[in-house]
């Protein structure tokens, strides 16, 4: 739902870049999970505000600049049970991570390793076993099918891009 961009000040505040549809949507949640890979911890939001193009937050237990700096690059999440229900053919980015990506010609592009927003549209990063990354626009003309059950994504995308 976001990531820690940098420390803010010397008292443990963090700059957060949100990945939410509504810029300040993360502020609706009083408890966040912060972490990376298999290292996550639950923290309570003590104070939060918007500041230019980031959120600035004070989390319980992050009390100085060193502790804040240790959070840089970590992801922000909230429990799925607290998230709003989605419409048909809508997905949370976290649902797309790990899906096998192929184009309509059957070329294997690897697996979804990341999803990010550009302002114009979201972008899916497909990473192959030989570490080739393809940036694929997440738009209706390109994303042909997503099957969470089969863990696949079919795209109309040239293998040479």
- As for how many domains the chain has, the answer is 2
Report the side by side order of strands in the sheet with 152-155: 133-138, 122-127, 108-117, 100-103, 152-155, 143-147
Domain for residue 103, yes or no?
yes
Predicted local confidence at residue 1, as pLDDT: 85
CA atoms of 2 and 11, how far apart (whole Å): 21
The per-residue pLDDT for range 108-136, each reduced to its tens digit, is: 999 999 998 888 899 999 999 999 999 99
The residue among 6, 15, 25, 125 whose CA lies nearest residue 70 is: 6
Q: Are 10 and 65 in contact (CB under 8 A)?
A: yes
Which token pair is 26? 């993360």
Mean pLDDT of the chain: 93
Q: Would you call 130 helix, strand, or coil by DSSP? A: coil
Which of 19, 54, 80 is the C-terminal boundary of a domain?
80
- Domain limits for position 68: 2-80
CA atoms of 113 and 143, how far apart (whole Å): 16
Q: Is the pLDDT of residue 38 over 90?
A: no
Domain for residue 76, yes or no?
yes
């Amino acid at each position: 739902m976001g990531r820690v961009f940098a420390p803010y000040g010397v008292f443990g505040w963090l700059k957060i870049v949100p990945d939410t549809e509504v810029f300040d949507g993360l502020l609706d949640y009083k408890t966040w999970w912060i972490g990376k890979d298999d290292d996550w911890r639950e923290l309570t939001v003590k104070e939060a505000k918007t500041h230019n193009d980031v959120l600035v937050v004070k989390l319980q237990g992050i009390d100085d600049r060193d502790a804040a700096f240790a959070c840089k690059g970590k992801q922000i999440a909230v429990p799925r049970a607290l998230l709003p229900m989605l419409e048909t053919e809508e997905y949370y980015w976290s649902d797309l991570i790990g899906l096998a990506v192929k184009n309509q010609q059957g070329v294997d592009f690897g697996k979804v390793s990341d999803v990010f927003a550009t302002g114009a549209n979201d972008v899916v990063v497909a990473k192959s076993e030989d570490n080739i990354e393809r940036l694929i626009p997440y738009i209706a003309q390109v994303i042909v099918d997503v099957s969470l059950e089969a863990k696949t994504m079919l795209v109309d995308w040239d293998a040479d891009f």
